Amino acid sequence: MKVLVLFDMARRIGPDESLSMRALRKDEAKPTEADVITCLRALGHDVEMLPVYDQVGEMMKRIEAFAPDVVFNLCESFFLDRSHEPNVPALLDLMKIRYTGAGPESLLLCKDKALAKKVLAFHKIRVAGFVVSTRTRPIRKLQRFRFPAFVKPLGEESSDGIAKASYSRTEEEALDRARFIHESMDRDALIEEYIEGRELTVSVLGNKRPLALPPREIFFGAADGTSPRFTTRRAKWDDAYRKKWGIKNGPAAPLPNGTADRLARTARMAYRILKIRGLARLDVRLTEDGKVNVIEVNPNPSLARSDDFAMSAAEAGLSYEALIQRILDNAMR
Ligand SMILES: Nc1ncnc2c1ncn2[C@@H]1O[C@H](COP(=O)(O)OP(=O)(O)O)[C@@H](O)[C@H]1O
Ligand SMILES: [Mg+2]
pLDDT greater than 80 at residue 146: yes
Distance 283 CA to ligand 1 centre (A): 8
Relative to the CA of 192, which ligand 1 atom is closest?
1
Q: Is the bond into 228 cis (omega within 30 degrees of 0)? A: no
The percent of residues in the chain predicted with pLDDT above 90, rounded, is 88
| Least confident residue range of 26-30, 183-187, 234-238 | 234-238
- pLDDT score of 223: 62
Judged on CB neighbours under 10 Å (0-12, 13-18, 19+), 333 is: exposed
| Least confident residue range of 68-72, 193-197, 238-242, 277-281 | 238-242
The residue contributing the CA closest to ligand 1 atom 9 is 295
Q: Which ligand is nearest to the CA of 284?
A: 1
Distance 163 CA to ligand 2 centre (A): 13
The residue contributing the CA closest to ligand 1 atom 19 is 159
Among 152, 181, 185, name the best residue to mutate to test ligand 1's pocket (greatest count of ligand atoms within 8 A of Cβ): 152
3-state secondary structure of 283: strand
**pTM of this structure:** 0.95
Q: Which residues contact 74 (CB under 8 A, 6 or more apart)?
A: 5, 6, 7, 8, 32, 33, 36, 300, 303
Following DSSP, what letter does each residue of 185-245 receive, concatenated?
H---EEEEE---SEEEEEEEEESSS-EEPPPEEEEES-TTTTS--S--HHHHH-HHHHHHH
Q: How far apart are CA 169 and CA 148, in angstroms?
A: 4
What domains can you pick out in the chain, each with its CATH number?
2-99 (3.40.50), 129-193 (3.30.1490), 197-215+252-332 (3.30.470.20)
Q: Which ligand is nearest to the CA of 148?
A: 1
pLDDT tens digits for 64-114? 999 999 999 999 999 999 999 999 999 999 999 999 999 999 999 999 999
Average pLDDT estimate for 155-174: 87
Distance 293 CA to ligand 2 centre (A): 13
| Least confident residue range of 15-19, 276-280, 316-320 | 15-19
pLDDT greater than 70 at residue 177: yes
Q: Which ligand is nearest to the CA of 200?
A: 1
Average pLDDT estimate for 244-253: 94
How far from chain centre, in Å, is Cα 183? 25
The residue contributing the CA closest to ligand 1 atom 25 is 231
User: For residue 314, what pLDDT band results from cuts at 50, 70 and 90?
Assistant: very high
